[in-house]
Structure 1
Amino acid sequence: MDIRSASMTLVTPALEETRHFYETHFNARPVFDCGWYVVLRLGTTDSDVELCIMLPQDGMTTFTGGVCLNLRVSDADSVHERLHRTAGLAVEIPLEDHPWGDRGFGLKDPAGTMIYCYHPIAPDESFQRFILDDSQ
């Protein structure tokens, strides 16, 4: 199987609020928009990271949580500063170093998705044996 990319679709009645959240705080821009289904590209203009948002259609189950969208960023501290301190967004997971090899924090979007923003750091020795591919 030759997978070239992956994206997640959030099915939510809060499409507009969720779209606005990503456009405002994650430099998202629409690359497809038919009103009830929007594809947002996150980050810089050369990014291929996409998130889809969809209004429930024909009895579809809406998103109720349980998903964490992990966003690897260049500097979690500056993203935390911008989103929490400057924009006033509530942080659900505090900014801290984790022994498995990242520094990050988490917050929720209007649809209830946990967004975990992180950058890699050296893992503690106790986690070295769990790293199966260090090419990232």
Structure 2
Amino acid sequence: MQVTATTVSLTVDNVARSRDFFVDHLGYQERMAADGFASLHRPDAAADVVLLRRGIEVLPPDQRHQRAGGLILALTLADGIAEEERRLRAEGVEITMPLRQEPWGERLFQITDPNGVVVQFVEWADSAAGSAAAENDA
């Protein structure tokens, strides 16, 4: 198997609000859009995001009315996490979990989009800790 891209598909109530949030604040670009659908992309290693309106008929019946919930879209940054948090605050984005450092070396903070999608920014404070964590996840 050869994976060429990673895409997260999120079912939300208002596609336009999430699309605008991801484009305006997170650097995503809209690739395609139609009624109840938007495909978003970043030119770096971030996962692509597909937004689907809740109830849209392209989804199987048992999935149509679910919302993106219990999911965290985590974006790992090379550096500059404190600056990123300041930038988002300055843009008026609510920081729903302030920047903190975990004992294992992970620095992180969270924001939440207008549809409740949680986006977490992560940076490894100690590159050895980050490498060890990545190896443990593999």
TM-score by shorter chain over 0.5:
yes
Q: Decide which of 64, 71, 74 is 1:67's aligned counterpart.
A: 71
Fraction of identical pairs, as percent: 19
* 1:70 counterpart letter in structure 2: A
Q: Decide which of 73, 82, 85 is 1:80's aligned counterpart.
A: 85
Task: Indicate the SS of the match to 2:70.
Answer: coil
Q: CA deviation at 1:64?
A: 4.7
Q: CA deviation at 1:28?
A: 1.1
CA contact (8 A) 1:99 1:123 kept: no
Pair 1:110-2:114 in alignment: yes
Runs (5+) with no aligned partner, structure 2? none
Q: How many residues align?
A: 128
Aligned-pair RMSD on alpha carbons?
2.5
* 1:81 counterpart letter in structure 2: R
Q: When the two structures are superposed, what TM-score results if normalisation uses the length of structure 1?
A: 0.80
Task: Specify the alignment match of 1:50 in structure 2.
Answer: 48
CA contact (8 A) 1:75 1:118 kept: no
1:1-136, aligned counterparts within 5 Å? 1-42=1-42, 45-47=43-45, 49-56=47-54, 57-58=56-57, 60-73=64-77, 74-84=79-89, 86-122=90-126, 131=133, 133=135
CA contact (8 A) 1:14 1:111 kept: yes
* 2:4 counterpart letter in structure 1: R
**Structure 1 residue runs of 4+, over 6 Å off?**
none
What are the superposed Cα offsets for residues 54-112 of structure 1, whole Å, 9 maximum, x if unpaired?
A: 1121350231520001011232111100112x012221211011122221101111121
Q: Provide the rounded CA distance (Å) in 2 between the counterparts of 1:63 and 1:17.
A: 14
Q: Provide the rounded CA distance (Å) in 2 between the counterparts of 1:29 and 1:13.
A: 20
CA contact (8 A) 1:100 1:123 kept: no
Q: When the two structures are superposed, what TM-score results if normalisation uses the length of structure 2?
A: 0.79
